[in-house]
Amino acid sequence: MSRIITNYLLTLFLMSTIICGVLTGHADFLENLPPEIQPLYNSDLDTWKPPEHLKRNYPYYLSGFDEEDRPVWVLEFGKWNLRDIVEQGKDAVIEFDKYVNQVILNVYNSTITKHEIVPAIIILDLDEYELSQLTSPATVAYYVEKLRLIVIAMKNLHAAYCINTNFVAQRFLNLIKPLLGKEFEKFEIYGNNPAKWKSRILKTIPSDQLPSWYGGSSNFKPVMIYG
């Protein structure tokens, strides 16, 4: 008798799981978040307004979407002076940490749609990247620390186009390469010659989804500017 009840309950459970799964496809992806990403969702990061000085000095934005509807993000990482933060001390690092976590959350969350995971494309613009970022051990230690979370989030990365890579930025990429492991295969590295990377980028991203300086149209507007 109890076996019949158990079977009955089991069937009921399975049916409700299936029905809930169909109704809440989005929630499904959210339930299966990597455990390291989960805390980003259970925080105030979705509503937190970063201070102006961070938004000004550490720019990034959702540029648009490619032909497969993949979100295209631009990270003007060459301008990101992490050494400045690290040298300001603990409070600045705590605040900046929150900023970076919000970047990770925004990029990761853009890959989760109602019905599927749509991996992101990142344009990593390394223009203006300076050697001072690499000669500070504390700054390098900070890179390494944050990369652990970034590698996990990179599961939902389709490709990263690294552009304007000067020889200092190349050194930065060499530094992170072993830490990224096989995720580094998603990185395509281009130098300072726009003719080379523009044609590559425009092969997959429609020009109206990109700013003019990346070969996009002059009337382009990003979907959302975050930083």
Q: Which residues would be at the binding site for ligand NAG (CB under 6 A)? A: 41, 46, 105, 109
Smallest separation (angstroms) from ligand NAG to the CB of 37? 10
Is the C-alpha dihedral spanning 13, 15, 17, 20 positive or negative?
negative
- The phi and psi torsions of 224 (rounded to 5 degrees) equal -160, 125
Conformational region of residue 69, where left means phi above 0, alpha means psi within -120 to 50, and beta covers everything else:
left
Smallest separation (angstroms) from ligand NAG to the CB of 110? 7
Smallest separation (angstroms) from ligand NAG to the CB of 69? 13
Nearest to 157 by CA among 193, 190, 118: 118
Torsion of CA 44, 48, 53, 58, to 10 degrees: 70
Smallest separation (angstroms) from ligand NAG to the CB of 21? 19
Cβ distance to ligand NAG smaller for residue 86 or 122: 122
- β-partners of residue 157 are 120
Is the C-alpha dihedral spanning 128, 187, 100, 70 positive or negative?
positive
Smallest separation (angstroms) from ligand NAG to the CB of 76? 22
The strand pair at 60-65 and 224-225 is best described as antiparallel
Cβ distance to ligand NAG smaller for residue 3 or 114: 114
Smallest separation (angstroms) from ligand NAG to the CB of 70? 14
Nearest to 163 by CA among 111, 200, 108: 200
Cβ distance to ligand NAG smaller for residue 29 or 129: 29
End-to-end CA, the chain: 63
Cβ distance to ligand NAG smaller for residue 43 or 192: 43
